[in-house]
Amino acid sequence: MIDTLSTRGIATAFDGAPPAAPAPLPAAPDIVAILPRQARTVRDTGLEPRFLADLVLKAIQSGGKSPLAVLAGKLRLAIGVLREVLNPLIAEQQVEVAWCGESDIDMQYHLTPAGQRAAADALARCRYLGPAPVTLADYRAVVERQALRHAAARVTPAQLAGVLGEDGLAPATRAVLGAALYARRSLLLHGPSGSGKTLLARRLGRLLPGPIAVPYALLAGRQVIRLFDPAVHLPPATPARQEERRSCDARWTLCQRPLVHVGAGLGRDMLELRHDAEDGVWHAPPHLQANNGMLVLDDVGRQRIPAGELLNRFIAPLDAGADRLALHGGQAESLPFDAAVVFVTNLAPHGVLDDAALRRIGYKAEIGPLAPAAYRALLRRQCRARRIEYDDEAADYLVERLHPQSGRALLACWPGELLDRIVDFAGSAGVEPCLAVDAVEQAWRSMFIASGAEA
**Residue-level pLDDT, tens digit, the chain, 455 residues:** 455 433 333 333 344 444 334 444 455 567 888 999 999 999 999 999 999 999 999 999 998 889 999 999 999 999 999 999 999 999 999 999 988 877 777 889 999 999 999 999 999 988 999 999 999 999 999 999 999 887 666 777 778 877 777 677 888 888 899 899 888 889 999 999 999 999 899 889 888 887 999 999 999 978 999 999 999 999 988 766 655 667 899 999 999 999 999 988 888 889 999 998 888 899 999 999 999 999 999 999 998 889 988 988 888 888 888 999 888 767 888 999 999 999 999 999 999 998 988 999 999 999 999 999 999 999 999 999 999 999 999 999 999 999 999 999 999 999 999 999 999 999 999 999 999 999 999 999 999 876 544 54
Surface-to-core class of residue 237, CB atoms within 10 Å of its CB (0-12 exposed, 13-18 middle, 19+ buried): exposed
> First-to-last CA distance in the chain?
42
Q: What pLDDT does residue 207 have?
A: 85
Whether 13 and 166 have beta carbons less than 8 Å apart is answered as yes
Whether 299 and 342 have beta carbons less than 8 Å apart is answered as no
DSSP state of 37: B
Q: What pLDDT does residue 33 have?
A: 85
Angle in degrees, CA 271, 277, 282, rounded to 5: 35
Tell me the C-alpha distance between 254 and 307, whole Å.
34
Tell me the CA distances in angstroms from 346 to 172, 308, 360, 413, one per residue in order: 20, 16, 19, 14
Q: What pLDDT does residue 29 have?
A: 63
Q: What pLDDT does residue 10 have?
A: 34
- CATH 3.60.20.30, applies to 48-128: no
CATH of 137-366, one of 3.40.50.300, 3.40.30.10, 3.90.1150.10, 3.10.20.600: 3.40.50.300
Q: What pLDDT does residue 292 have?
A: 94
Closest CA to 401 of 351, 353, 441: 441
Q: What pLDDT does residue 244 have?
A: 61
Task: Return the sign of the alpha-carbon dihedral for residues 356, 361, 362, 367.
Answer: negative
